[in-house]
Amino acid sequence: MKDVLLGKFSERTACVGVVGLGYVGLPLAVEFAKAGFRVIGYDVSERVVAQLNEGVSHIQDVPSADVAEQLASGKLEATTDESRLSEMDVALIAVPTPLSKTRDPDMTYVLASSDAIARNCHPGMLVVLESTTYPGTTRELMQPKLESNGLVVGEDIFLAFSPERVDPGNTVWHTKNTPKVVGGITPACTEVAAALYGACLDTVVPVSSSETAELIKLLENTFRAVNIAMVNEMAVICDKLGVNVWEVVEAAATKPFGYMKFLPGPGIGGHCIPLDPHYLAWKMRTLNYKTRFIDLASEINSQMPAIVAEKVSRALNDDRKSVNGSRILVLGVAYKRDIDDARESPALDIIRLLELDGADVVYHDPYVPVIREDDHVRMGVELTDKELERADAVVIVTDHSSVDYQRVLDLATVIVDTRNVTARLHSAKGRIISLSSTPSFAND
């Protein structure tokens, strides 16, 4: 079976299936189609599948032209029909792995995908989990399901984990040129999975096991979460000392060794950094070990929206206004600059906190015109002169490059800048409050 699969990869005759056509799955599907493979994308969303089959991408980093081109070539198609999984030589699983309200891993989508593949599994099939999860998921949860019909992993079918490394909005590093880590249940599984990705991507990094590959992803994002927490705490320290944290960070970054630059902000967002470390923390709790760095970093990062809300409250108080009844304009709700993804964005927490105190909060984001939270839909506003002048305070949460911040300073009365985008601008009107400085006038 291994030799058969390796031959299919080499000749580009394998049918590659991608289960889950979101931020991870769709770029992967398009890349394999570009590499010459026939690709079937499977998703339970009829809306997503219908859009893709019309040549329309719902992912910012994947141009609709690329989807349409691969559809026209016959290399790519999308379906909601589970039975099509039986046509696949490869099933790459890229489904959500959220956390429950108690910060426990929710494996619902991974288990559902594994069950669907198990129902349609056949000898000579490679299954790879790309969804971020805790160490042991691939071996402990997926392998028994795939072997339930008598097939043996490592001989009849092959199973591996390969962590997704998607960075939305990154114009330099993308699916094809980002090194791809691969770890299989057996050495044969690793060999087969590495051969598949090697036929499509620039660099493949094989590791000794699926657990190793699972842990690599968690190390990467825990490293970021801990260092962001450190610099966020430094912002609080600088604020209490009357020192500009941005000046401290930029000057420290001139050291050519032993230092890596991280920037403070209003909190962390996206699907990875706020969530991934908790998979590891949960796993270690089952082994009676407390992950102190992870817990502390989460505590510090999660308090940043409250610190921003307090900054707004104090700024209004200086103008003899209360948060209750004030109109506050939030600029940017995407979790980072120049993308359309608002998942876990600190802006959402800042809005909630201000509204709980009675503020009338509106937002503007050129990439996120609508926010959908449970049954609630919130519409963004146009960034008009009237809207800027009307606001009692403007809070810059996401520093999209398309926004004219000089105009914001020229028209707004109070600006709480969590991203330091106003540092080199001038205004005769606006009062700027930073994360770590006392209120000042922009033209000082």
Q: What is the pLDDT of residues 104-128, one digit of tens each?
A: 899 999 999 999 999 999 999 999 9
Separation of alpha carbons 282 and 288, rounded Å:
10
Kindly state whether residues 56 and 153 are assigned to the same domain. Answer: yes
Using alpha carbons, list the distances in angstroms from residue 126 to 30, 85, 121, 412.
Answer: 19, 12, 9, 57
Is 443 within 8 Å of 421 (Cβ atoms)? no
State the angle between helix axes of 210-241 and 276-285 in degrees (0 to 180), rounded to the nearest 10.
110
Give percent of the chain with pLDDT exceeding 90. Answer: 90
Using alpha carbons, list the distances in angstroms from residue 107 to 2, 137, 218.
Answer: 29, 9, 16
Residue 24 inside a domain? The answer is yes
pLDDT of residue 125: 98
Residue 166 inside a domain? The answer is yes
- Please determine, for residue 367, whether its predicted confidence score (pLDDT) is greater than 70: yes
What single DSSP character describes residue 139? I
pLDDT of residue 441: 44
- Select from 189, 208, 227 the last residue of a domain: 208
Q: What is the pLDDT of residues 236-280, one digit of tens each?
A: 999 999 999 999 999 999 999 999 999 999 999 988 888 999 999
pLDDT band at 442 (very low <50, low <70, confident <90, very high): very low
Q: What is the mean pLDDT of residues 397-408?
A: 95
Q: Are strands 76-79 and 90-93 parallel, antiparallel or unpaired?
A: unpaired
Annotated catalytic residue, options 121, 200, 238, 272: 272
Torsion sign, CA atoms 58, 63, 67, 68 = positive
Residue 228 inside a domain? The answer is no
Our answer to whether residue 200 is catalytic in this structure is no
- Select from 148, 181, 208 the last residue of a domain: 208
Domain containing 38: what range?
A: 2-208
- Select from 150, 179, 208 the last residue of a domain: 208
Rounded to two decimals, what is the model's pTM? 0.92
pLDDT band at 20 (very low <50, low <70, confident <90, very high): very high
Q: Are strands 370-373 and 376-379 parallel, antiparallel or unpaired?
A: antiparallel
- Please determine, for residue 438, whether its predicted confidence score (pLDDT) is greater than 80: no
Kindly state whether residues 13 and 159 are assigned to the same domain. Answer: yes
Kindly state whether residues 307 and 418 are assigned to the same domain. Answer: yes
Q: Exposed e or buried b for every residue in 4-14, given b needs 16+ CB within 10 A?
A: ebbebbeeeeb
- Per the prediction, the chain carries an average pLDDT of 94
The identity of residue 208, as a single letter, is S
pLDDT of residue 100: 81
If one counts the domains in the chain, the total is: 2
Q: What is the pLDDT of residues 142-153, one digit of tens each?
A: 999 999 989 999
Separation of alpha carbons 394 and 361, rounded Å:
10
Residue 436 inside a domain? The answer is yes
Q: Is 263 exposed, middle or buried (0-12, 13-18, 19+ CB in 10 A)?
A: middle
CATH code, domain carrying 410: 3.40.50.720
